[in-house]
Structure 1
């Protein structure tokens, strides 16, 4: 693909920068910010002309928006799961009624979503899902089970849940993709998971007979695996380039720290810094090369393998260039100060999970081996 930015893209970039400069207010809470984005038409740029989103944008303009947003320091998004994962999935597999019901509130920033995939015994192995959904007399479903590592579940209005509707099924058979309202007191419980960083971006979600309507099955009963795999293809795309903008900012800070501490005088450290820079450029070129593909094959898995390991190494390098000061925080200098991590410490600790969440490195390599290279499938149930 010959990817480049033309005059129209640069004019769009100017518009984006001016809008973000005027409207990006760090004092807004995340839900209010989503409504601000929706009111100005910035949600759903890649949904096409179906009438469900706001303004439309070319692929290059979507990249411009994502990169400029990352550079602007605007608030972290809480609506991206609905916009980037649920919406493309409904556009591909949903009924017209489902699109009309769920896409406009996402585009307006009014309804937030979370993803009910991973489970305690099936983190990256979605075929091992044990959450059950059984039919009630009125045709609706009753869901029982547990999901884990559920981002933004404490804020979400809805959750798309992968559940087993055929109790006799095994592995990827008999799974169904359900749209479940989170406001079900006594039937859905959300428990935050405290992480190494002291924060709680992830949650455990417990379903105890939670209701899902029959018309909120996406793609048909028993077709959940097909829908879920399609969704994972949407998970990486334009947003990968925006993510790399953040990576570049983190790398620049590590370089500045290396200069400040004198660590840059060490030839080994210099070599590591150059390697990080070169690999980040390679990731960008790879992302641009695969942009606009259908998401089939191994491109998403290759991208995940590349950035996860790279980001972990950056966190380690951030600690290395700081030396002994990397091990202490405000409380060590001032006993009355609250416990807190600075940005490099947070980077180091949080990035330990990069090679696990969103599909572990082992799972990504298996996908590449089996689906792209055509190697024999990994035996299941063998220790």
Structure 2
């Protein structure tokens, strides 16, 4: 597993750094060279893929699908999208339907394969390739998945927690928001808790378990309760997903707690990036997945499987998004300087004029 170049730089590009030096730091980070695969099989044409999303309200899942959609067009593949709406019965039915159609591959988008335990034998018998996006605790091969595409969750958690510690100017009291149904979320939450616990001037106040899809409805009540319990000892929130902060600002302001700062350990939703860039939000940062790039990686992993090759072994690097980082980009996409499209086209032996 490769260590994140951007992750190493992230802890030095903090809110307390002067703007010009912060911009220079982030410009160096986004100019990092391609660290992904450079060799692999040529394009395997005429494949059919079904992307089963746990819930498209999760911005990371949606961005990964869009990346895969673009890559699939260039490979000449058919791609179908299913929104599971967080409903396990709907997800299982969609999976059974895809297997019955003798689809070539299925993306497990943002949920653990335990949900599909009764259906997995049929998929194996039919020879359907399964590739996950955040479908296991760690990136890489994980039965029954050919591979799981993700950044390293412990690295994401470390960057987020250290950002809170290093940017604080006094005692730190942290609440962590988690969804313990997902192995990857538990890895992030557990790692952030460890780091905060080791900090001499920090205290872990609580770990709040709220389902991601219920965050908007549940966060306001949680904020009121936490404020009653912890008062001014509560200074920061960490969360395993940006969704917890979609309703957080209003809830905090209603409790007269505009002093609390928020940092997300994933996934870098468009809404979160916009509010960070505005400078008018209490969310200081998000450790974003390069989700569009990961969509192309999903395509590449399928292509390797279809050609009889092993997984690439590549683990993409997280992107620490702050207001200074976005200012340095000057309106460009946070993945704009990552040359993944060119790299994968070279591997697949697709010229620009062949791209569909």
Is the TM-score greater than 0.5?
A: no
TM-score, with normalisation over the residues of structure 2?
0.28
TM-score, with normalisation over the residues of structure 1?
0.27
Q: Relative contact order (C-alpha < 8 Å, sep 6+): which is higher?
A: 2
- The higher radius of gyration belongs to 1
